Amino acid sequence: MTSDEHPTSTQRLGVDQAPKGLSVVQDLLNTAGMTVAPLPDLLADETTAQSAVDASMRTWGEQTGQTPARISISPQDLPALRELRDQVRGWLTGEAQDSAPSRLAVDISFRGDRFEYEPQGGGAAAVASLVLMEALLAARTGTLARLKICRNPACGAAFYDLSRNSARVWHDMKTCGNVMNLRASRARRKDPSAT
């Protein structure tokens, strides 16, 4: 990353990127604002949304070895992107059991010895297609289950759990884990019957 390039939404949290193109799904989730840091919602504004999408596509290109076409974001794309973010978060937390079907529009070509794919359309529709494609691929290979939302409600960072038993619930044990464990133990001391 050179100095004139923005970090991805995930990098601004100091969190490792999910691998093999799944980073676009993680980056979308991490555009959300949070109160623990505090950080602004990158999808609240056209300029920050464009920077976030550019950085995310650059990382996706590095991870997948593909050259991404630039996706241009207009103000009209922002509500759809925020809705997509909520939907994807619901999939990961299990809160969106029966979401409406989403349309995936991707051009797939076979080059050399591998498939390349490029989202069709522009703006939010192109982002949605790529996010759906990567979520689908990761779900099939079992890696989507390792993409998690930090259990601290004031945080909500999307992190990739590399632990062997895939048991992590905090994006960072030192910050979110300790804060939440401390709060729980204080609550237990006040009310010993609480679990």
Of these, 57, 132, 176, 180, which contacts Zn ion (CB under 5 A)?
A: 176
Total binding residues toward Zn ion, as defined by CB under 5 A:
6
Nearest to 117, CA basis, from 187, 68, 182, 56: 68
Q: For Zn ion, which is the closer residue by CB, 138 or 155? A: 155
Q: For Zn ion, which is the closer residue by CB, 76 or 181? A: 181
**For residue 166, with 0-12 CB atoms within 10 Å meaning exposed, 13-18 middle and 19 or more buried, which class applies?**
exposed
SS3 of residue 15 by DSSP: coil
Greatest Cα pair distance, the chain, in angstroms, is 65
Q: For Zn ion, which is the closer residue by CB, 88 or 130? A: 88
- Residue 26 touches Zn ion, criterion: CB under 5 A: no
Q: Residue 9 CB: number of other CB atoms within 10 A?
A: 27
Q: Residue 69 CB: number of other CB atoms within 10 A?
A: 13
Query: C-beta of 98: minimal distance to Zn ion in Å?
Result: 28
Q: For Zn ion, which is the closer residue by CB, 13 or 73? A: 13
- Residue 152 touches Zn ion, criterion: CB under 5 A: yes
Query: C-beta of 180: minimal distance to Zn ion in Å?
Result: 9
Of these, 78, 149, 157, 158, which contacts Zn ion (CB under 5 A)?
A: 157
Task: Locate 18 and state its tokens.
Answer: 């999910």
Residues in the chain: 195
Query: C-beta of 37: minimal distance to Zn ion in Å?
Result: 9
